[in-house]
Structure 1
Amino acid sequence: MSFTPPSSLPDHVPVLVAGGGPVGLTTAALLASYGIDVLVIEADEGYCTGSRAICMARRSLEILDWVGAGRPVLDKGLGWTAGRSYFRDREVLRFEMPHDPTQRFDPMVNIQQYYVEAYAHEAAQRQDERVQVAWGCKVGAIRQDAAGVDVTLATPQGERRVRADWLVACDGGRSTVREQLGLAFTGMQYEGRYVIVDIEQDSRRPTERLAWFDPPSNPGSTILMHRQPDNVWRIDYQIGEDEDADEAVKPENVLPRVQSHLDMIGETAPWKPLWISIYNAKCLTLERYRHGRVLFAGDAGHLVPIFGVRGLNSGLDDAGNLAWKLAWVMRGAAPDSLLDTFSEERVHATRQNIAYGAKSTEFMAPPSHGFALMREAALRLALDDEAVRPLINPRQSSPISYDGSALNGADALPEAGAACAPGMPAPELQLGRDGRTSHLSQAFGRGFVLLAVDCPMATQAMLAAACATVADGTQVPAPRLVAAQGPGGDDPRAWRIAPGNEGRYGRAGPAVFLVRPDGYVLGRWPAAQADEAVAALAGFHPQAA
């Protein structure tokens, strides 16, 4: 695809997104789906090179699917559910991530980041020409006031100034926006370094997460392998503290180590290197992701270790959380204080991701001799003791709960269980009706959703009327009613909950759940209190009054 920078840029845009990586492009596509015009500024002249972030979690696929980018990722990518870890040349762990046939997506899908960028870009281009991407343009000086942000841009045609009502910073770990605002990360950086190599080799190995600790091929190192599309393998290996980083990434030093590892695992097919880089783990975040009319998402706001694949996945979760809130504010359906909850919820998520990522990093790249001794002890014991093996589980990325969020509404149905409580990601449901199969998550990504489980038809009628009423006169998407029933239901208009899904929203009798546009439960009530669910819904559609 050709990336021609625009010959002219608008003087004013509702939203300017700094950074055209997967988080920036997805944010733009999501905002455009709400009818908001967006200008994306990207310093590079095209998509990234090298695999970079390759493991896409189920939650990320759902978010991408809200704008039509989920299916291309699924079609191109390689799904996986399991992984293996080895101590030297012996297997010490095989793990399975939670999954079942009723889910829409695998727990993880491997795909090179440049494909994700391409699919997110294509999704943005399909949004009624609401997204313009300026390639080869750099963000410079930034000045904001109470009404908007003035951004100076360096373009191929010279310097330009653009006025934006809102600026979303998705410009990565070396964010110019963060620097311009004089903001600094807090946290820590680990010393352990990994060389990252993409190679092309025809292999019949299954797609799974593979890890070797102190392998005979590279004694003292830790090696990770992931299969990717196009016969590409990603190999990460740890280098010693005494090795020079510039020397470590030279092909003459990288290729022998890769060959040694391939020989050890019996891969004899010809191969060639495609990309080499180096990485060290960071646990860093801004204290807030909202600064006036500037909002931070992805690596511009936080850096988390790659172990457990929480980097890009958390950035896409930022996009999913932010887009509907910014749309509600810009459409006048909510005060701009709603954006403070974006910052509060996503900082909370980052701190959880950092806590898990730090534990994984301390195992994958021990920060001291003491940690290294404890890791070796755990690995030695795991050879023969199954009870020890969970200690070396890599703790893959999973959706974060927003405990204590200011948006969490009433919990009038605690007996339904913690998995579907306010602040939790709404559990998936496979649904069937008239020979068709659908999933609850397909209703997310636009407006609010009222999920009526085993509710009487009169309650369903009242909720349907409320959805139509609260949307009247507003500039945000109408809420949607999803009526679902278990095996004992007799309403032909309701969706049938697939076997094995019945208990995901508890077994506390007829119930109503209010789900946010980003797929998080806001509140839950017994069917007899459905009017309270309607009142909570109306609070996000104030123009209806």
Structure 2
Amino acid sequence: MEFKTYPFTAKKYAAAVPMLDNGIETKRHAVTIVGGGPVGLAVALGLANHGVPSVLIEADDSVCYGSRAICISRRSLEIIERLGAVDGFLKTGLPWAGGRSFYRDTEVLHFKMPQDDNQKLPPMVNLAQYHIEQFLLDAAQRRSDLIDIRWQTRVSAIDSRPDGATLRLVTPEGDYSLDTDWVVACDGGRSAIRDALGLQLKGTSYEGRYVIVDIELESDRPTERLAYFDPSSNPGSTVLVHKQPDNVWRIDYQLRDGEDAEEAVKPENVMPRVQSLLDMMGERGAWSPIWITIYKANALTLDSYRHGRVLFGGDAAHLVPIFGVRGANSGIDDADNLAWKLAFVVRGLASEGLLDSYSDERVFAAHENLRHGTKSTEFMAPPSFAFELMRKAVLSLAIKHERVRSLINPRQTSAITYTASPLNTSEAEPGAFVTGPVPGAALAECPLTIVEGGNAREAYLTDLIAPCFTALHFSEDGRVPEGFTELGAALRNEKLPFKLIPVTPHLHPETTNDHNWDHTGRLFAMYGAKPGTVYLVRPDGHVLGRWHAPAAADIAVAIHDALNT
């Protein structure tokens, strides 16, 4: 059987060397990002949204090739929309909201992810990483005034100092050095920057191995996550199946104990297993292999993501098991958290301590992801006889007992709430809010109508988030409270980006103020809001603080305290 190629052609990019003086680039840069994958591109786009330029260094000459990340979560889509790249994700990606698990030949679970009328975006879309990178790259190229992408450029050494760093770079056109104030290392699981600084990931590496096979198969089967435990096609193992765009299917199957990894990935050994799986699934169409590789689960993280002027994100900072799709999604969350904080520091609007909160929040998030990922890994690929016995018991009971079925499903990725963030504003009246996102949580989505200049359009709450601090003010008539107009002017004088957004329960055509109307009648209740309530939101869409009747000074103090943490 002949191998096909992915139905995607990546444009190749040549290396370029900037103006040099004795082998050193003449221009010093504010931010240099190492690694042009999804995380590095997201950091560059996030910085650009705040007007901060960056240099992005990528060792390859194109977007990636092969089978890597494929599932993008709703939270990641929200972030990507703010980065100006979501259209391609939604146009090409295959949305899904649940999946099915089978034990031998019996379906034991049909799960659905949270999805209701409040949502703008699907819970998950399947999209190959080469598409993910291409759509982010397209957006970055539209921001070429602020994003300088350098292909075929590899870091060979780093000299990190209290005031910045010097990178030694290798290209086909010649080697040179680059001086920069900040380095963001997004250079993957084998991070050259991490190694150069002598840093090590800590945690657990699992012995269980999975063969990953991408095939081309035309099928009208719906898009959902399929998991097969102890299937007839591969007895004693676990098989995962995901449908992707362009008739590409991702198949992951566990190797049994004692199987030789080198032999297992040979086509003559892979093809019969894939055919047996497709026969079991009832897929009779012609198919062709595209890609074969092997994967071993890791649950690892750095202790800190900030080391002086060097910041780590994505796989360079942590390696998360694939079960629960937390890899690329946690990296995109890293980028979203880091970009606004680094931008505020670079622009002189915040102390460097704000970047310590990046590490605090995202290390916390990594441990949350690793905790859930570890549970999922121990079920999907039992590391010992005891775990295997427990899994067999759960699967057997699940056939007849619905209550144990939730143990089968690896919890899918979700937005992390930074409950202990040093940025959070303490609630003045604990218990005053019965509902609504707490400080540190991401905004809960809800439709609303935006009224601007007398024109109304239906939108969503997350559409109001911009690269600034946002105060959502709930009122009856959209009028701005006393002192809030002066607050906005004072913050603008400090060059702090801020906007006040009135939200009303009713449409008020007689008011001259632009406001946002809760036309579904759900938003006020969801947020536990009453006239006078304010939610202060960070540039990354997480709640900084909330009050039922704050003074303008309360908002100013919360912003200044966060920026001078």
TM-score, normalised relative to structure 2: 0.92
Q: Which residues in structure 2 correspond to 1:346-425 (within 5 Å)?
A: 346-412=362-428, 414-417=431-434, 419-425=436-442
Helix, strand or coil: the match of 1:420?
coil
Q: Residues 60-106 of structure 1, C-alpha deviation per residue, up to 9 Å, x if partnerless?
A: 11111112111211111011111111101111011111111331211
- 1:428 equivalent to 2:445? Answer yes
* Aligned residue in 2 for 1:5: 15
CA distance in 2, matches of 1:540, 1:282: 34
- How many pairs align? 540
Q: Distance in 1 between matches of 2:184 and 2:43?
A: 9
Q: Corresponding residue for 2:6?
A: none
Please list, as runs of the form range in 1=range in 2, the aligned pairs for 1:59-458 lying within 5 A after superposition.
59-412=75-428, 414-417=431-434, 419-433=436-450, 434-454=455-475, 457-458=478-479
Name the counterpart of 2:34.
18
Q: Deviations over 1:424-480 (max 9, x none)?
A: 112122111454111221232401110112366444464344223302242x5x212
Does the residue aligned with 1:178 lie in a helix, a strand or coil?
helix
- Match of residue 523, structure 1, among 523, 534, 545: 545
Stretch moving more, 147-156 or 527-536: 527-536
Question: How far is 1:518 from its partner?
Answer: 0.6
The residue aligned with 1:479 is 498
- Segments of structure 2 that go 5 or more residues without pairing to the other structure are 1-10, 20-24
Contact 1:525-1:533 at 8 Å conserved across structures? no
* 8 Å CA contact 1:470, 1:538 repeated in 2: no
Q: Is the 8 A contact 2:423 2:562 kept in 1?
A: no
Aligned counterparts of 1:497 and 1:152: Cα–Cα separation in 2: 54
Are residues 295 and 541 of structure 1, via their aligned partners in 2, closer, same or farther at CA, if it must alter by over 3 Å? closer
Moved more, 161-170 or 422-431: 422-431
SS of 1:143's partner is: strand
TM-score, normalisation: structure 1:
0.95
Structure 1 spans left out of the alignment, 5+ residues = none
Indicate the SS of the match to 1:163: strand
Q: Quote the Cα distance in structure 1 between the aligned partners of 2:295 and 2:108.
A: 26
Cα drift, residue 535 of structure 1: 3.2
Evaluate the alpha carbon distance shift between residue 455 and residue 345 of structure 1 in structure 2; reply closer, same or farther with a 3 A threshold: farther
Q: What is the aligned partner in structure 2 of residue 533 from structure 1?
A: 555
Distance 1:100 1:204 in 2: 25
Partners of 1:460 and 1:483 within 8 A in 2: no
- The amino acid that maps onto 1:514 is L
Question: Which stretch of the first structure deviates more once superposed, 428-437 or 518-527?
Answer: 428-437
CA-CA distance at 1:174 after TM superposition: 0.4
Change (3 A) 1:486 1:286: same
Aligned-partner SS, 2:246: coil
RMSD of aligned residue pairs (Cα, Å): 1.9
- Kept in 2: contact 1:167–1:293 (CA 8 A): yes
1:453 alignment partner AA: F
**Relative to structure 1, is the Cα distance of residues 20 and 388 closer, same or farther in structure 2, using a 3 angstrom cutoff?**
same
Match of 1:506 among 517, 521, 528: 528
Identity fraction in percent? 49
Structure 1 residue 172, shift from structure 2 partner: 0.4
Partner of residue 66, structure 2 = 50
Secondary structure, aligned partner of 2:208: strand
In 2, Cα distance between the equivalents of 1:399 and 1:464?
A: 33
Q: 2:483–2:551: 8 Å Cα contact kept in structure 1?
A: no
